[in-house]
Every structure is written in structure tokens, then in C-alpha cells.
């Protein structure tokens, strides 16, 4: 929503907004753009707009929604505005999947930009190469992160159903968003509907390392009316990443297409999951005619996305990392990647179960293995236990800590952020890497920890 606000303002519109909490990097971006954000929700904030854009987290009963309805204002969802104002008539690349959407979209924007196609793009995080999460140009190319979250209280379909993909990437499919989807089959159905939007002269780029992706593609039989490109590290994929290795701060890999070597790449990104993200972008860029050498140079210079293994600071030999990971697969992959990069250093994982899925008991057992790459674990309290309870079950933090401790590693449950920082003040030593994982602000723990380290 913050990115859309910036895009609309860049188009010449006067934009204001309301939210309960806005935190970096979006609060910083909005402040830099001079967009007024009013704290909380009040009918007085609405004034007399030409259009009210309603976010998907806003329910009936919200005073601004109710005022807009009572006064018969024009209101639309975020995806509706994107489609009509920015996407229609352009060549659209939609990046979807349970994991890797933001990084892959950002990679695609960077690569296509280096090809001088000047894409319009919209991603969920701030792209460090660009300094913002969006760009508005007159280009024919539009790149967008395709979210499977519901669209608005008045449109319960996935956001990505509005984005008119010429090319669609589906990196992977897992069960997520337990507040929206009943089970994995419901998630697969949503992605099947996205795949069915790709035109005959477009391409579906499917992550073949994900069994659910294969199953969804197979469900079409002979009725997948677009061109299929499969990718991954498995032998069955048409496009393969092989000979992956990490050395001197870069991940190196080779790309093979139908068994023949196609190109060699390197990227500052770490982890096999990011190699797959890069591979998806290579295929999409090739579909749009980008030269191989441009791809090679672009992937080597990509600076990642805010809150994706982002180094927030290093004080007294302790490195503090900020990451958006919250699903157990993302937690495991993030910690494994950090273990690879920071070999022979202790990985301290600090996790806040904040997303609707991570607060829920759905992944109680799965989180145990998710923390396996860490050497020391602290888990905070469940952010929204009441909502999780209403959904059928709350993640049992004490049980999780007990199970992690059974792996013969220190594991603690600490509720308060200041208490976490105080505990770490007596535990951290030079060489440690602290991976702070949450999809929220986590009480400003990053700066508090860095301040504590500086005062030691």
C-alpha cells in the first residue's frame, strides 16, 4: 500500500493515508516522499477524496470504511487500482509463490532495468539498488510481486488475480496464510487459477523443486494453454542450476538449459533458495529478450532487499541481521544460508511469531527443525494469541523451546524485547551473528541491541 501511494503521487495525485502502525523501511520511504500518514482510523481523515483505496487488512466496521460507504465515495482495492492505472496494456511479469516473491521481483526489476527497458515495478520491500520499492515510467514493462493474500473485504480472491500476467513465475507452493486458506489444497487452487490467466503467447515459469507446483501444473493435463518453462536444481527441470558454491562473498552457479550449459553466474545473495530465485529471473529476462551478458552483470551487482538477511550493524565483532522470515521453511533457509556465509561463527536466532500462520499451532512440529542451523535460540511471545486461538490453536512457545532444547542447544522463551536484549548482553561474544526474524517491527529490537552492544 505504501508503494502504491508513492506511485500515485508520482503520477501527480495528492495522496494521504491512515494506519495503526507504520515502521521502517516503509515509514522512512513515505516520510521522504512527503506523504502524510495519519495515525489510527477516524472518519475525519477521509475528507472528500476522489477515491478511497481500501487495504486488505481493513474490515467492515472501520470508521473510515463506514464513512466512505455512508457518503457513497468511490472505493477500490489496491489490486484494482494497480490494474487500471498501471498494468493494463503493458507486458506484465507477475512473481508469485509461497517464498521468495519479494527478492525475485526485485531481482527481475534490477535485471530488466540494466537491459535499459526501464520497467515500472512494484515490490513488497525496498530494493536497495533503487532505494525505493516502486518506479513509475512510460515503459511497456511492468513487474509486480503477486500476493496470494485476499484482495479486500469486498473481494476475497487473491491479489494476483488482478495483475494480467504475460509471464508468471511460481517459485514454490506450501501451506501458508492459515487465516485465509483451509489447507494446502486451497492454496494450490489459488495458484492454479493464476496459472490459468497466462496467455498462449506468454510463459509460465514453474519451480520444479516444489512438488505441489508440479501437482498443480499436472492438474491441467492438456489444458494448460501457455508455454511452460520449468526450473530448479532437480534433474527433471528444463532449466537447472548446477555446481553451486559459495566463495569470497559470492554465490557461484552454472545454468543449464535442456542439458546444455547456458551461462555462468555469480550473486552476492546466499542460499540455494536465492539461486532458484535468480534462475527464475534468468528465464523471465530471456523471455523478454535480455542479453545473457546483461543478466550476468546484473545478478553480480544486485544489492538485495531491505529486511532480507540485511546487516543492520556490526559492533564489537557481533553482526546483527534483520530478516523477514516467519514461515518455518523461510526460517530454516535463512539460518542455513547464514550458517554457510558465516562459517565457524555462532548463529544466534531471535524469532517473533507474528504472522497469522506463525502464531497458529499449524507448524508446531515444523518449527523444531526450522531452527536446526542455529546454535542458540530465543523465541518471543506469540504476537496475536487471541486471533490464533479463534483460528483453532496457538503456537505453544514453551513446548517449542522444550523440543529445541532436546537438540542439545540453548533455547529460551522470553516475552519482552528489553528482556531479550538484557539476556543477550551477557551472552554475546565477538564473532557471533544474531539473526532477528520477524515480519514486523519487533519492538525496535535491532537498534536496542546495537545500542547495548555499543555501550558494553
pLDDT (mean) for 406-413:
93
Q: What pLDDT is stored for residue 138 in this prediction?
A: 82
Q: What is the pLDDT of residues 246-266, one digit of tens each?
A: 998 899 999 999 999 999 999
CA–centroid distance for 248 within its chain: 26
Q: Is the dihedral of CA 62, 63, 66, 67 positive or negative?
A: negative
Determine what percent of the chain falls in helix, strand and coil, rounding each to the nearest 5. 35, 25, 40
Structure confidence at residue 360 as a pLDDT band (50, 70, 90):
confident
Instruction: Decide if pLDDT at 275 tops 70.
Output: yes
Instruction: Decide if pLDDT at 344 tops 80.
Output: yes
Instruction: Decide if pLDDT at 441 tops 90.
Output: no
Question: Which one, of 247, 268, 271, 400, lies nearest residue 336 by Cα?
Answer: 271
Rounded Cα–Cα distance for residues 11 and 396 (Å): 47
Instruction: Decide if pLDDT at 26 tops 80.
Output: no
Q: What is the pLDDT of residues 33-51, one digit of tens each?
A: 889 899 999 999 998 899 9
Helices (H), 288-365: 292-301, 328-341, 356-359
In sequence order, what E strands does 126-200 have? 134-135, 141-145, 150-152, 155-158, 167-170
pLDDT (mean) for 159-170:
97
Helices (H), 325-395: 328-341, 356-359, 366-370, 385-390
Cell numbers that stand for 163 in this block: 495483475
pLDDT (mean) for 25-30:
79
Q: What pLDDT is stored for residue 328 in this prediction?
A: 92
Buried b (16+ CB within 10 A) or exposed e, 170-191: bbbbbbbbbbbbeeeeebbebb
Rounded alpha-carbon distances, angstroms, from residue 384 to 89, 331, 345, 363, 444 = 41, 19, 33, 16, 18
Rounded Cα–Cα distance for residues 191 and 281 (Å): 19
Beta strand 433-437 with 318-323: parallel, antiparallel or unpaired? parallel
Q: What is the pLDDT of residues 44-91, one digit of tens each?
A: 999 889 999 999 999 999 999 999 999 999 999 999 999 999 999 999
Rounded Cα–Cα distance for residues 11 and 137 (Å): 9
CA–centroid distance for 281 within its chain: 15
Beta strand 260-267 with 250-257: parallel, antiparallel or unpaired? antiparallel
Cell numbers that stand for 93 in this block: 511479469
Rounded Cα–Cα distance for residues 279 and 260 (Å): 15
Rounded Cα–Cα distance for residues 269 and 255 (Å): 16
List, as one string, the DSSP characters of 226-241.
Answer: SEEEEEESSTT-SEEE
Highest mean predicted confidence (pLDDT) among 31-40, 158-167, 307-316, 356-365:
158-167
Torsion of CA 101, 105, 106, 108, to 10 degrees: 140
Q: What pLDDT is stored for residue 435 in this prediction?
A: 96
**DSSP state, 55?**
P
Q: Are 161 and 197 in contact (CB under 8 A)?
A: yes
Q: What pLDDT is stored for residue 388 in this prediction?
A: 66
Rounded Cα–Cα distance for residues 130 and 116 (Å): 14
Beta strand 250-257 with 239-247: parallel, antiparallel or unpaired? antiparallel
Q: What pLDDT is stored for residue 399 in this prediction?
A: 93
Q: What pLDDT is stored for residue 125 in this prediction?
A: 80
Q: Is the dihedral of CA 86, 87, 89, 95 positive or negative?
A: positive
Q: What pLDDT is stored for residue 316 in this prediction?
A: 93
pLDDT (mean) for 315-330:
93
Question: Which one, of 356, 371, 454, 451, lies nearest residue 412 by Cα?
Answer: 371
Quick one: how many helices (H) and strands (E) in the chain?
16, 22
- Is pLDDT larger for residue 395 or for residue 187? 187
Question: Which one, of 139, 134, 133, 194, lies nearest residue 169 by Cα?
Answer: 194
Question: Which one, of 31, 62, 67, lies nearest residue 49 by Cα?
Answer: 67
Instruction: Decide if pLDDT at 128 tops 90.
Output: no
Q: Are 216 and 240 in contact (CB under 8 A)?
A: no
Q: Which of 13-27, 109-123, 167-181, 261-275 comes out lowest in average pLDDT? A: 13-27
Q: Is the dihedral of CA 141, 16, 155, 124 positive or negative?
A: positive
CA–centroid distance for 38 within its chain: 26
Beta bridge partners of 322: 310, 436
Question: Which one, of 103, 166, 126, 117, lies nearest residue 25 by Cα?
Answer: 126
pLDDT (mean) for 158-175:
97
Instruction: Decide if pLDDT at 130 tops 90.
Output: no
Instruction: Decide if pLDDT at 358 tops 80.
Output: yes
Torsion of CA 235, 238, 244, 249, to 10 degrees: -160
Helices (H), 141-271: 184-195, 211-218
Q: What pLDDT is stored for residue 456 in this prediction?
A: 65
Helix, coil or strand: residue 29: helix
Give the mean pLDDT of the chain: 93
Amino acid at each position: 500500500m505504501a508503494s502504491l501511494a508513492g506511485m500515485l503521487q508520482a503520477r501527480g495525485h495528492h495522496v494521504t493515508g491512515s494506519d495503526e502502525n507504520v515502521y521502517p523501511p516503509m515509514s522512512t520511504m513515505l516520510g521522504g516522499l512527503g506523504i502524510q500518514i495519519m495515525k489510527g482510523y477516524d472518519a475525519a481523515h477521509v475528507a472528500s477524496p476522489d477515491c478511497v483505496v481500501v487495504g486488505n487488512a481493513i474490515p467492515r466496521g472501520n470508521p473510515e470504511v463506514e464513512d466512505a460507504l455512508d457518503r457513497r465515495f468511490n472505493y477500490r482495492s489496491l489490486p484494482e487500482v494497480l490494474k487500471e492505472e498501471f498494468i493494463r496494456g503493458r507486458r506484465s511479469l507477475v512473481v508469485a509463490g509461497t517464498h521468495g516473491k519479494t527478492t525475485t521481483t526485485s531481482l527481475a526489476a534490477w535485471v530488466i532495468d540494466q537491459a535499459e527497458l526501464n520497467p515500472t515495478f512494484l515490490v513488497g520491500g525496498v530494493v536497495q539498488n533503487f532505494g525505493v520499492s516502486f518506479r513509475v515510467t512510460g515503459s511497456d514493462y511492468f513487474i509486480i510481486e503477486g500476493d496470494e493474500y485476499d484482495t479486500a473485504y469486498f473481494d476475497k480472491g487473491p491479489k494476483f488475480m488482478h495483475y494480467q500476467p504475460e509471464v508468471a513465475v511460481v517459485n514454490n507452493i506450501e501451506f501458508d496464510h492459515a487465516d485465509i486458506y483451509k489447507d494446502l489444497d486451497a492454496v494450490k487452487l489459488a495458484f492454479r487459477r493464476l496459472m490459468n490467466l497466462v496467455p498462449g503467447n506468454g510463459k509460465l515459469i514453474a519451480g520444479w523443486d516444489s512438488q505441489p507446483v508440479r501437482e498443480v501444473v499436472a492438474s491441467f493435463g492438456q489444458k494448460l494453454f501457455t508455454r511452460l518453462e520449468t526450473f530448479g536444481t532437480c534433474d527433471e527441470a528444463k532449466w537447472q542450476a548446477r555446481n553451486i558454491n559459495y566463495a569470497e562473498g559470492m554465490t557461484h552457479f552454472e545454468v543449464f538449459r535442456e542439458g546444455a550449459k547456458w551461462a555462468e553466474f555469480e550473486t552476492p545473495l546466499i542460499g540455494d533458495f536465492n539461486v532458484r530465485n535468480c534462475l527464475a529471473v534468468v528465464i523471465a529476462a530471456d523471455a523478454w529478450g535480455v542479453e545473457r551478458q546483461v543478466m550476468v552483470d546484473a545478478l553480480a551487482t544486485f544489492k538485495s532487499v531491505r529486511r532480507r538477511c540485511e546487516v543492520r550493524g556490526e559492533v564489537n565483532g557481533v553482526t546483527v541481521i534483520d530478516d523477514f522470515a516467519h514461515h518455518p521453511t523461510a526460517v530454516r533457509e535463512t539460518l542455513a544460508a547464514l550458517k554457510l556465509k558465516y562459517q565457524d561463527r555462532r548463529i544466534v536466532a531471535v524469532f517473533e511469531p507474528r504472522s497469522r500462520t506463525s502464531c497458529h499451532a499449524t507448524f508446531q512440529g515444523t518449527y523444531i527443525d526450522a531452527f536446526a542451523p542455529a546454535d542458540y535460540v530465543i523465541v518471543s511471545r506469540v504476537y496475536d494469541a487471541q486471533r490464533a486461538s479463534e483460528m483453532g490453536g496457538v503456537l505453544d512457545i514453551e513446548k517449542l523451546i522444550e523440543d529445541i532444547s532436546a537438540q542439545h542447544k540453548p533455547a529460551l522463551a522470553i516475552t519482552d524485547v528489553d528482556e531479550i536484549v538484557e539476556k543477550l548482553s551477557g551472552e554475546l561474544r565477538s564473532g557471533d551473528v544474531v539473526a532477528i526474524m520477524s515480519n514486523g517491527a519487533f519492538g525496535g529490537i535491532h537498534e536496542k541491541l546495537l545500542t547495548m552492544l555499543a555501550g558494553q
